[in-house]
Structure 1
Amino acid sequence: MKLKMAKNSLFAILLRSRWWISLLIGLLLTLISVALLPDEVRVVGALSGLPFFVIAIVAAIRQWGRPSPERVAQIQDAIAALSWPAFANLLEQAFVREGHTVQRGKTEDFDFELERQGRRTLVSARRWKSARTGVENLRALQAAREARTADEALYIGLAPLSEQAQPYATAQGIQVWQAEELALALHDLALPKATGR
């Protein structure tokens, strides 16, 4: 039986938060225990901070090299204001930097065809500003993937996936990039000035 942490448990929330918050909680518990508990239980009380130190380490490892939430929001705002040609050029730069050869798509179903080490990926990104991503967009990308016998598919959009789209993406193995993944991919590229749609 595989154990799974509840999504809104204290430790799950701390894993999604900045690592130093868990470290601070652990330090506070340890200091309070040392200051207030009697000598015979002081060590046991001080150890109550140990799970928070472990969570801090795990969160720090997960967050290493990832942009801060502030940087993610900054990049999200910047790319939401871009026109499609400017955003497409930015994505192309990021893909090339990662070692892909890039071809622009010639149909509505995908926008880029990437190739690296013999593996091909179709990318759909033109609807990155849509308020919500429905399953029909993912179905079109998956159909193009099957027709072109591509190895992978990637959908890029700032909005969350609909309730039907999320399980479909998981079942078909479609990668989804949203604000955090885009911030990581574009972290050191110069963002062009917004020019409208």
Structure 2
Amino acid sequence: MKFKMAEKSLFATLLRSPWWVSLAIAAVLALLAMSLLPPDYKVVGATSGFPFLVIAVIAAARQWRLPSAARVAQTQQAVAAMAWPEFAALLEAAFRRDGYSVRPGGGAAVDFELERQGRRMLVSARRWKSARTGLEALRPLQAARDAAGGADALYIGLGELTDTARPFAATHRIAIWQADEVALALRGLPLTAPKP
């Protein structure tokens, strides 16, 4: 059985927040304990902030790898200017680098079929330039996944999700990559074709 932290719990919220927020909470708890508790309990009270220190370290490690806002904007601009074959080649290189075996998709809704450690994933990315992603893009991917029998699903699109698409993706466990995730996936790869 896999343990999954509740999405709205304090620690899950802190993991998504800047790392220094958890560090500040740990420091405040330690200072309060040192100044308000009797001498025999000061050290024990000061350690009450330790879980927040651990969360700060985990959040810092995660955030260290994330691309900056400038890098996200640069990547978004570069991939929005690409033609499909160029963008598809970049995605394929990124997936292979991350340990996936990559095959072309088997239908209009699926551009890539990925496999890693026995898990399959269907990827739809051809509409990456769309300004808004609605149900018309996600339903065919969901249908293809149902037909594939248990594969994971990933939709890649730079535009925002409509109000109906976001809950549909969450309900059907379709992972969504937008500009931040695309920038992270393409880290270290050349975003422009080499000049002849």
The two structures have a TM-score, normalised by structure 1, of 0.70
**Structure 1 match to 2:171:** 171
Alignment gaps of 5+ in structure 1: 7-11, 28-49
CA distance in 2, matches of 1:15, 1:117: 27
Name the structure, 1 or 2, with higher relative contact order (CA <8 Å, separation 6+). Answer: 1
Report if aligned partners of 2:7, 2:13 keep a CA contact under 8 Å in 1.
no
Single out whichever of 12-21 and 122-131 deviates more from structure 2: 12-21
The reply on whether 1:110 has 2:105 as its aligned counterpart is no
Report if aligned partners of 1:82, 1:193 keep a CA contact under 8 Å in 2.
no
CA distance in 2, matches of 1:116, 1:22: 34
Aligned-residue CA RMSD in angstroms? 3.7
Q: Structure 1 pair 16/147, CA: closer, same or farther in 2 (3 Å)? A: closer
Shift of 1:190: 1.3
Counterpart code for 1:60: A
Counterpart code for 2:95: F
**Structure 2 match to 1:47:** none
CA distance in 1, matches of 2:124, 2:149: 16
**Structure 2 match to 1:66:** 65
Shift of 1:112: 0.5
**Structure 1 match to 2:35:** none
Deviations 1:149-185 (A, max 9, x none): 2421110011121111111111111111111111111
Alignment gaps of 5+ in structure 2: 1-5, 28-49
**Structure 2 match to 1:123:** 123
The two structures have a TM-score, normalised by structure 2, of 0.70
Shift of 1:186: 0.9
CA distance in 1, matches of 2:105, 2:98: 19
Deviations 1:72-102 (A, max 9, x none): 2221121111111100000001111122111
Q: Which has the higher strand share?
A: 2
How many pairs are equivalent? 187
Counterpart code for 1:142: Q
